[in-house]
Amino acid sequence: MTEEKLEFETRTGKVVIDYNRCEPVVKNTSNPSCGFACVKACRLYGRNILKIEGNRPVLAVSDPEEIKRLDNECLGCEYECMFHGTGCIKIELPLSGLQEIAKGGRQ
């Protein structure tokens, strides 16, 4: 399988879904053991950014600026995938000053 990912920008970070590790994609099943936990979380905690299409989570919104406007950065998709799925979702949120604090420079 080639490296396949869904990546999209939020207001302050980026969401990455690694399709090579996503159970419904890898097994091509419409009834995965995770139950599409990421999409359910997006509907419950978020703003319906994700939907199911072709046995995979995909963007329900195509406009990048609309995604940034809608996404509430609830982290629900990553959390639910970690506990009910394969942990194939990573949310990258930069924390300014973190490296300085780790080095003991900023307090």
pLDDT in tens, 30-74: 999 999 999 999 999 999 999 999 999 999 999 999 999 999 999
8 A C-beta contact, residue 81 and residue 73: no
Supply 24's token pair: 């419904």
- pTM confidence score: 0.88
- The answer to whether residue 26 scores a pLDDT higher than 60 is yes
Q: How confident is the model at residue 1 (pLDDT cuts 50, 70, 90)?
A: low
Angle at 74 (CA atoms; ends 71, 75), nearest 5 degrees: 110
Quick one: DSSP state of residue 73? -
Asked if residue 16 lies in contact with residue 94, where contact means CB atoms within 8 angstroms, the answer is no
Give the sign of the dihedral formed by CA 67, CA 69, CA 71, CA 73: positive
Structure tokens of 69? 């406007």
